[in-house]
Amino acid sequence: MSPMRAAPVVNAVIQARSSSTRLPGKVLRPLGGRSVLGWVVRAAAAAPGVDRVVVATSADPSDDEVAAEAARCGAAVVRGPLDDVLERFAVALREHPADAVVRLTADCPLLDPALIGQLAALWRAQPSLDYVSTTLVRTLPRGFDAELVRAEVLREQVSAATGADREHVTSGVYAQPTRYSCAGVVVSPAAEDLRVTLDTAEDWALIAALVAELGDRVGDWRAVVALLRSRPDLVALNAHVEQKEVGR
């Protein structure tokens, strides 16, 4: 009788820093009784199929408070280069080994644990997949972004990626669909026209208004979309904000 194989390990790694160019210190802002980073850590920890939550911040002194807040929220903390985000993920993988990593960003406080869990379940059902995300074909509002990368593929990127691919971590994977096996989670009805990520003061106004309406609870993309569809006045708060382009 062959020995039972251990279940593959999936860790969530949240990239976080305080030096945002458009809204400095945004990840430490208080939102509904906890920090923005605390919202993201809570969502990741509540996601089914996630074994460990790691916050990857920089070793720069400007991120000392980010590291302290991440630890206070119960996450493991790793620190690496300020601008080489991919190397921070490499540190997370070395210090907390896993078979796959879910990449999350600390500026998405309304992240839905169920969506993160879907990525983990899809990959565990088909572990030959190199990349699974909610953004490969975008049908969700910006702000529910989650990406799973197989650890071996992430290590390849650490060794080979250059330029903007080191800042954006996964762009070197999904940009090569003939080399890497990619899959995506899509929802219906689509709501990709909405924006609930935190990058500007206008984004903050919207997210604060959503939390005031929905309360301090883990994100639920359906509840957020339903509220926004019923409140065009809220949608208008950040409808004009343009997302930064992913350079290559």
Which pLDDT score is estimated for 5? 59
Which among 208, 202, 210, 211 is positioned nearest to 231, based on CA atoms? 210
CATH class of 10-235: alpha beta
Which pLDDT score is estimated for 3? 54
Which among 37, 5, 4 is positioned nearest to 18, based on CA atoms? 37
Asked if the model's pLDDT at residue 248 lies above 50, the reply is no
pLDDT bucket at 161, cuts 50 / 70 / 90: confident
H or E segment at 205? Answer: helix 201-214
pLDDT in tens, 80-118: 999 999 999 999 999 999 999 999 999 999 999 999 999
* pTM of the entire predicted model: 0.94
Which pLDDT score is estimated for 24? 86
pLDDT in tens, 52-89: 999 999 999 999 999 999 999 999 999 999 999 999 99
How many whole angstroms separate alpha carbon 130 and alpha carbon 36?
30
Which pLDDT score is estimated for 1? 46
How many whole angstroms separate alpha carbon 71 and alpha carbon 52?
13
Which pLDDT score is estimated for 213? 96
CB atoms within 10 A of CB 57: 28
Asked if the model's pLDDT at residue 147 lies above 50, the reply is yes
pLDDT bucket at 6, cuts 50 / 70 / 90: confident
pLDDT bucket at 246, cuts 50 / 70 / 90: low
Which pLDDT score is estimated for 99? 97
